[in-house]
Amino acid sequence: MRACDDRDSLRHTPLHALHVSLGGKMVPFAGYDMPVQYPAGVLKEHLHTRSQAGLFDVSHMGQLALRPKSGKVEDAARALERLVPQDIVAIAEGRQRYAQFTNADGGILDDLMVANFGDHLFLVVNAACKAEDEAHLRAHLSGDCVIEQLADRALIALQGPKAESVLAKFCADAPAMKFMDSGPREVAGIKCFVSRSGYTGEDGFEISVPAADAERLAKALLENPDVLPIGLGARDSLRLEAGLCLYGHDIDTATTPVEAALEWSVQKSRRSGGTRAGGFPGAEKILAHFDNGASRRRVGLLAQGRAPVREGALLFADSAGGEPIGKVTSGGFGPSLNAPVAMGYVPTSQSALGTNLFAEVRGQRLPLTVAAMPFVKNTYKR
């Protein structure tokens, strides 16, 4: 993700003052001044989210409304399908779906969430890409849709096994929601957009709230002893254990959804032989990867020792000699496993579970094993 080094030019989310008051250690991230951790520390924040509930500020993400000029949400869905390989038409009202913007070479411009709010689509995009994503939408969909940037909203995530019981005190509808349900809900008397989803592998919710009400809502949630504020450090270790991609690291403009092991996100209707096959940027290459396979693949990697294997480490087939066959794209210590975890790209011929590989770390080759993801079982409420 792109970061900004000039502190004076960093943007603030509506919760910035709250982070500072809570003792957040602030760092530049995607052009924003964001908390990387709080006094509890990354390890405790991570484990607390896995066992209870963590509150994350993700207001740096982009929020957009795609409003069909015809008044029919299906027309907005069909328009968006010109830019993504997912079946957007099939998203039922009150549901959301994970998607990717692709380019002419089949690479991923960004990944995003798309929700059907009945009369329009609600999109959440990555912070570092949100200006480009909005320009991309305006350049290609303005004939069919009004693209509205929802700049006056904050976004917070409540994640963990106690998220439902915490949110239920403020939102009566929360317990009835299933994984990937999404839509307008009232939370603590505030008109919000709530989805049952997140970026940790745990059950939880993402809440889009008017910026003016964000601090009040965050403080109300933090009053519950089960809830701790969580920074970017634990957000990264949680998503890594969950095997979830970070844009600009595990997926990028040179990576297709098939190479990234995201085939599950592309519905049959958009694949070869489907009712609306192709018609999105890079379709020829992406569908060829579906039909014939890709030469490389994102895999999970478990180190056999205790030393973390970080992003950028080269991967080898042998303990000595030979050319690198791949590279680690995310890596670190997995607190829930009490062991190092990583993911990276290797030739498909060496992507089978149990394959032994080696990562070069400080001049030494450390043994790794290709492992199933997620590393920690997810707890989504289906």
Whole-angstrom CA distances from 7 to 3, 10, 34, 64, 180 are 10, 5, 11, 27, 36
Query: Which of 243, 235, 206, 49 minimizes the C-alpha distance to 113?
Result: 206
Decide: 156 and 218 in contact? Cβ < 8 Å: yes
Cα(357)–Cα(368) distance, rounded to whole angstroms? Answer: 5
Which DSSP symbol is given to 175? G
Q: What pLDDT is recorded for position 305?
A: 86
Q: Contact, 365 vs 301, CB < 8 A?
A: no
- DSSP, residue by residue, 94-143: TBEEEEEEE-TTS-EEEEEEEEE-SSSEEEEE-GGGHHHHHHHHHHHHTT
The tally of CA atoms less than 13 A away on the side-chain side of residue 118 is 5
pLDDT of amino acid 22: 98
Q: DSSP assignment, residue 181?
A: B
Q: State the pairing for strand pair 25-29/227-229.
A: unpaired
List all residues 6 or more positions away from 325 whose beta carbon is below 8 Å from its beta carbon. Answer: 315, 316, 317, 346, 347, 350, 357
Low-confidence ranges of the chain (pLDDT < 70): 1-7
What string of DSSP letters covers 183-245? EEEEETTEEEEEES--SSSSSEEEEEEEHHHHHHHHHHHHTSTTEEE--HHHHHHHHHHTT--
Closest listed residue to residue 296, CA positions, set 370, 376, 217:
370
Please report the pLDDT score of residue 6 as a whole number. 60
* Side chain identity at residue 6, one-letter code: D
Among residues 292, 250, 251, 255, which one has the least CA distance to residue 271? 292
First to last CA, the chain: 31
Q: How far apart are CA 211 and CA 351, in angstroms?
A: 45
54: exposed, middle or buried (Cβ count in 10 Å: 0-12, 13-18, 19+): buried
Cβ atoms of 170 and 65 closer than 8 Å: no
Assign 55 to helix, strand or coil. Answer: strand
Q: Would you state the pLDDT for residue 250?
A: 98
State residue 5's pLDDT score.
Answer: 45
Q: Are 299 and 309 in contact (CB under 8 A)?
A: no
Query: Are the C-beta atoms of 44 and 67 separated by less than 8 Å?
Result: no
CA 152 to chain centre: 22
